[in-house]
Amino acid sequence: MSVSIELHPLAILNISDHFTRAKYLSFKDSPNKLRVVGALLGKQNGRVLEIVNTVEFSFKIVPESEGSIAPEEQFCASRIEAYKKNFPELDCVGWYTSDTKNQDLPTQADQIVQRKMQKFTENPLLLIMNPESQIAHDQNKLPYFLYDYDNFQSKFVSMDFKLAQSDSERIAVDHVAQAVDQNAKTSALSQNMQASVNAVKLLRRKVKFLIDIVKNSEEVRKNHQFMRDLNQICSSLPITTRENYDKNAFSEYSDIAAVNLLASVTKGFELLNGLLENYKIYDGNRGQYMQEIMDGSFGRHNMIDEESMQMLSRHDSKNPMKKFM
C-alpha cells in the first residue's frame, strides 16, 4: 500500500480504553485469555489514509484452533452501519487487536480474522497494541504496530504511520496530559467523588446527632427557639420520597420507551413503503404485459410464461364477444 497513513489520537485512546475496561472486567475470570478486537474507521484523501476512530467488535473463540477467534459478522456489520449513519464520510479501513500475550507481530490466527475482515473492506489493515512491548519502550514510541497483508506472499508486512490530530484533538490530549498524574494512586475523578462522599457522610452524622438529642432530651424539645431553628434546617434539606422518585423514574423510562417505539415505527413504515413500491413495479409490469396479450401484440416477445397463458385463457372465457368472432 503506497499511501501515507495517519493515526489520530481518538483511535489510540479508544483502543487503550477498550483494553483497560476488558482487563478490569475479566481480571478475576480469565486474565490470561484476555483479547479485544474492533474495527478501524477512517477516510482517504488522495494518497493520505487517516485512521480517525474505532468500533468495538464482539467475537467468539474457536475451540478447534488455539488462539483463533471468529467475529460475529452480523453484530459487526450492524455496528459499522450504525456508525456510518452519523459519520457517512468514514469507512472501515481495517481492524485492531490487543491481548495479554504481549506480542508485537501478527500470529497465524490473525490471518484467519484478516480473511473474515475482507467482507467489510477489500484490503484491511491490522493495528496491534502491546502495552508491554520492549521494542516500543527501547525506541520511546507508542506501543502500536501497523501491518498490511500481502496477498501474494500470504503474510503481514509492517507499515509506518505518523500521528495526526486536529485542533480539537490537540486541545483534548493536552488537557488529559495535564489532568493525569502518573505518580498518583487514584484518579482525579476518584478524588472529586471521595470529597463528595465525605461531605455526605459528615452531613449524615450531624443530622443523626440532632435527631438523637431531640429524642433523648426533653429540655431540648421545650426550647422553642432551638426547635424553630431545627425545623428551618430540616426544611432546607432536599427530601425525595419514594413515590416521587418512582414517578420521575417511570416518566423518564416512558420517554425513552416512546422514542424507541417511534424509531421502530419509522423503520416499519420505511420497510412498508419499500414493499409498496416493489408491488407497484411488479403490478404495473404485469398489467402492461397482460394488456399486450389482450391487444394481440404479444408476438413481439420470444416466449410467454405459464402465468400469462392462464390469464389469457381466463380473459377469453369471460369475453362475451368471442362466440361472434
Within this chain, do residues 81 and 147 fall inside the same structural domain, yes or no?
Answer: yes
Residues 10 and 146 in one domain: yes
120 and 228 assigned to the same domain: no
Contact 11, 5 (CB under 8 A): no
Verify that 175 and 202 share a domain, yes or no.
no
In a domain, 253, yes or no: no
Q: Output the domain CATH number for residue 75.
A: 3.40.140.10
Task: Report the relative pairing of strands 91-99 and 155-159 from DSSP bridges.
Answer: unpaired
Give the pLDDT confidence score for residue 163 in this predicted structure: 87
Is residue 172 one of the residues assigned to a domain? yes
The answer to whether residue 113 is domain-embedded is yes
- The count of domains in the chain is 3
pLDDT tens for the chain, 325 residues long, are 578 899 998 899 899 989 988 888 776 555 556 888 999 999 988 889 999 999 988 887 776 666 677 788 888 888 888 888 888 889 999 999 988 777 888 888 888 888 888 888 888 999 999 988 888 888 888 899 999 988 888 889 999 998 887 777 778 777 777 666 666 666 666 777 788 888 889 988 988 888 888 888 888 888 888 888 888 877 777 666 667 767 777 888 888 888 888 888 888 888 888 888 877 776 666 555 555 555 555 454 444 455 555 655 655 555 554 444 4
Residue 123 in domain: yes
Per-residue confidence (pLDDT) for residue 15, from 0 to 100: 92
Residue 126 belongs to some domain of the structure: yes
Is residue 115 within 8 Å of 149, Cβ to Cβ?
A: no
Tell me phi and psi for residue 120, to 5 degrees.
-100, -30
241: helix, coil or strand?
coil
